[in-house]
Amino acid sequence: MTAITPAAETPKARGLFGSAGGDFDMFLKLLTTQMQNQDPLDPMDSSEYTQQLVQYSQVEQTIQQTGVLKDILTNLSGDELTRAGQLIGRTAEFDSSVSGLTSDTPAEWRWTFDKAPATLEAEILDSRGQVVARPPVEASASGALQWDGTLAGGGKAGEGAYVLRLVARDSSGGALKADLTSLGRVDEVVARDGETWVGIGGVALPLGKLVRLAL
């Protein structure tokens, strides 16, 4: 299974908190130093002092608001992860050309065209972008492919992520684009960088790409 390290907090929340906290500490130090070293015969103007106190209050409020925001984001992320856990064991379909191949499960894709192509070729690419197989497919308006890892030159491909590329043309030679999806059984759900990801056949796909669930 592709290792995905869960994020303890989102980068957005962490960045805001760190920036505001640093500004607050620096502002407090500068204000304290200024008050300690001001000339008794020429003290700080009262209006200027008041303005700095207002700035102090604004920075303090920013820190409090950022803390609340961080808590909200953490709770939302946790709730989504809990709900996504219900997908484990179900067959899911994703808006992606990437599918996972394991020793137990084939890589699987589905596609549809607006109209049936005159010619259709399928190419399977590995993680380096190299074509490793060209399985036969029927030139129809819709289709599906299960690939067990059989390579073009014989032998079996290793476990991992593979991409399906369809080369389709109409009767006049024009290129046709397919609506392509990948599918498989969900075996893991994780959080990464504030997003929920679903593990299928050793491949991690974002939950936002989910288009269909099968019973």
Domain boundary among 52, 87, 122: 87
Statement to judge: residues 115 and 204 lie in one domain? yes
Q: What local confidence, expressed as pLDDT, does residue 25 receive?
A: 64
**pLDDT by residue for the chain (215 residues), tens digit each?**
444 333 333 333 333 334 444 555 666 666 667 666 665 555 555 566 556 655 656 655 665 555 554 544 444 445 666 676 778 888 999 999 999 999 999 999 999 999 999 999 999 999 999 999 999 999 999 999 999 999 988 899 999 999 999 999 999 999 999 999 999 999 888 877 778 888 888 899 988 898 988 76
Q: What local confidence, expressed as pLDDT, does residue 42 receive?
A: 57
Counted domains in the chain? 2
Statement to judge: residues 99 and 173 lie in one domain? yes
Rounded Cα gap, residues 77 and 178, in angstroms: 33
Q: What local confidence, expressed as pLDDT, does residue 125 receive?
A: 97
Q: Which CATH number belongs to the domain containing residue 137 in this structure?
A: 2.60.40.4070
Statement to judge: residues 63 and 101 lie in one domain? no
Q: What local confidence, expressed as pLDDT, does residue 20 receive?
A: 47
Statement to judge: residues 201 and 182 lie in one domain? yes
Are 65 and 180 contacting, i.e. CB atoms less than 8 angstroms apart? no
Residue 154 in domain? yes
In the chain, the largest separation of any two C-alpha atoms, in whole Å, equals 93
Statement to judge: residues 113 and 58 lie in one domain? no
Statement to judge: residues 44 and 111 lie in one domain? no
Are 75 and 194 contacting, i.e. CB atoms less than 8 angstroms apart? no
* Full 3-state SS string of the chain: CCCCCCCCCCHHHHHHHHHHHHHHHHHHHHHHHHHHCCCCCCCCCHHHHHHHHHHHHHHHHHHHHHHHHHHHHHHHHHHHHHHHHHHCCCEEEECCCEEEECCCCCEEEEEECCCCCCEEEEEEECCCCCEEECCCCCCCCEEEEEECCECCCCCECCCEEEEEEEEEECCCCCEECCEEEEEEEEEEEEEECCEEEEEECCEEEEHHHEEEEEC
Q: What local confidence, expressed as pLDDT, does residue 208 receive?
A: 87
- The domain containing residue 187 runs over which residues? 91-214
Residue whose pair of structure tokens reads 């909200």 in the numeric block: 72
Which tokens go with 210? 């989910």
Residue 98 in domain? yes
Statement to judge: residues 102 and 200 lie in one domain? yes
Statement to judge: residues 21 and 95 lie in one domain? no
